[in-house]
Amino acid sequence: MSYQAPVKDMLFNIQHLAGLETLTQQIPAFADFGLDTAAAVLDECAKLTQDVIAPLNFEGDKNPSSWKDGVVTTTPGFKQAFRAYAEGGWQGLVHPAEFGGQGAPKTIAAACAEMLQSANMSFALCPLLTDGAVEALLTAGSDAQKAIFIPKLLDGSWTGTMNLTEPQAGSDLALVRTRAEPQADGTYKIFGTKIFITYGEHDMAENIVHLVLARVAGAPEGVKGISLFLVPKFMVNADGSLGARNDAHCVSIEHKMGIKASPTAVLQFGDHGGAIGTLIGQENRGLEYMFIMMNAARYGVGLQGVAIADRAYQKAVAYAKDRVQSRPVDGSVAGSAAIIHHPDVRRMLMTMRSLTEGCRAMASTAAAAFDAAHHHPDAEARKQNQAFYDFMVPLVKGYSTEMSLEVTDLGVQVHGGMGFIEETGAAQHYRDAKILTIYEGTTAIQANDLVGRKTARDGGQLARAVAGQIEATEAALARRDSAAARAMLKALRASRADYLAVVDFIAAQAKGNPNVAYAGSVPYLMLAGNLVAGWQLARALLVAEDMLATDPAFMGAKIATARFYAEHILPRTGALRAAIVDGADSVTELPLEAF
């Protein structure tokens, strides 16, 4: 089936959960981005993603990017689709107007990013990495770097990459060996190999701007001695025109399980005398700057989880309505009927739907916090929203991507044997989803961040403050007398208690017994993500009940979906709590030599 962007659900979240109207009233820069503008932007994005980009998704899986003699050729149609994307101004949607962007709130741009990822995740990775490069330059680039490079990145003439990983340095960036040699003219010569570089080479733009981590001679050991360099594929003259080919070359691309149309390059810098690069910011602060890119990308990967889940859900629903098999157990149809009549198929579809909508709502709320953290006129409001957003990033990235594996797995299951056949397309979503729990920091790395930086560091204060906000939603639910509100109140209250018990346990154990605390890090992330997504659906339920008469079908579906989440998904937190608090010792009990 063809992709249909869930614009109505996105606008519901933007209005009622993210609070766009409040943002536009409080933040002068967003005054022109009210609900009418949001609706218009989302409608236009839906047209592009549905009509131009989505049709290339299956083709990209069958006919992926190819490498020959250092040249990468992307899937037929990608180059033209990228032109349409760039000419529509979509790359600059969230970036500053002074560089050619549109300065839209992330609250709106995130919905557009989800559509793009749903339509074609392999294609969408190129704009995602360019966004990260722009963020790093905006934060740490010189005035000259910003003036020359950002406008070209925003208009789609050039694209950006992030070069961290090396053969011996994956998650441990202290092992980075790529070196930078200072030159008399203020530039640096870069030598080294980088692997897993998304869109490190392609034919969709005239230049590629590599942001590369490397060590300057004499730099401190470990992560404190890493600097960040801007290394273009083609040298750039002072007037912005392109010069000679730089000594940065793609020596191969990977053959992957999924996202096959996205070229994942091995880049060699300096095989012919040294790649010329310029320092971004100050020496030895490269990891700090790169984390700006990574945080932007981590949120973006979380959206990819929501996006691929939604695409899998849409395909599964279409198949379930079409596939005739067996007589319904309730006898509602005399003979064989479409499988959507069967209760277990309905259970699978509701699991897919509720997980996807919960994570979409969580991501939308986080985007609003980002907007307030960066643009709110009040310093204290900025501080509070930044803290909340920082807490949310590992949940959006970790929980949403793990969720996408469950949802795309169920998508294959709904298709039955046909789901195992590549021609139906269900398997592609399952394969594409797997990378999301790995790149831009594995689920375990997100969980370590949640434990160490977001919970243990302040003794659990921020984590408990989030629970306080959830408790306020419970109070609102307690004033309702509907079956859905009662079910949500019961489940949300129990899950919050599970969460608080784990927060207390983690905060108490992290310093004295780190193995005990970190043994439960991923279960803690899954518990927290489950709770926060459920909290957002609880907020949605309250709004939907108030507005039921205005749109009975849509609002009724929101209520039913929230109730399902409350009764089928939120109860998982009890098992996670038991595993974390009572099961930590058994994780490390088996001697290493016994494995």
* Cα–Cα distance measured from residue 266 to residue 238, given in angstroms and rounded to the nearest whole number: 29
State which residues of the chain have pLDDT below 50. none
Q: How far apart are CA 455 and CA 524, in angstroms?
A: 11
Angle among Cα 193, 198, 204 to the nearest 5 degrees reads 115
SS3 176: coil
- What is the reported pLDDT for 218? 92
What is d(CA 434, CA 140) in angstroms, rounded to the nearest whole number?
A: 33
pTM above 0.95, yes or no: yes
Paired sense of beta strands 226-232 and 207-216, if any: antiparallel
Do 379 and 360 meet the contact criterion of CB atoms below 8 Å apart?
Answer: no
Q: Which pLDDT value is given to residue 293?
A: 78
User: Could you say which of 357, 402, 440, 545 is catalytic?
Assistant: 440
545 tagged catalytic: no
pLDDT value at position 170? Answer: 83
Residue 116: DSSP 8-state: H
| Of 206, 198, 208, nearest in space to 275 by CA | 208
The pLDDT of residue 292 is 80
* Rounded Cα gap, residues 441 and 159, in angstroms: 22
Sign of CA dihedral 18, 20, 21, 23: positive
Kindly tell me the burial class for residue 178, based on how many C-beta atoms sit within 10 Å of its own C-beta (0-12, 13-18, 19 or more): buried
Q: How far apart are CA 90 and CA 78, in angstroms?
A: 16
Query: Encoding tokens for residue 120?
Result: 């074609």
- Retrieve residue 116's tokens: 């793009």
CA 129 to chain centre: 12
Distance (Å, rounded) from C-alpha 509 to C-alpha 497? 18
Q: What was the pLDDT predicted at 148?
A: 97
Q: Please give the pLDDT value at position 172.
A: 85
Q: What is the DSSP letter of 192?
A: E
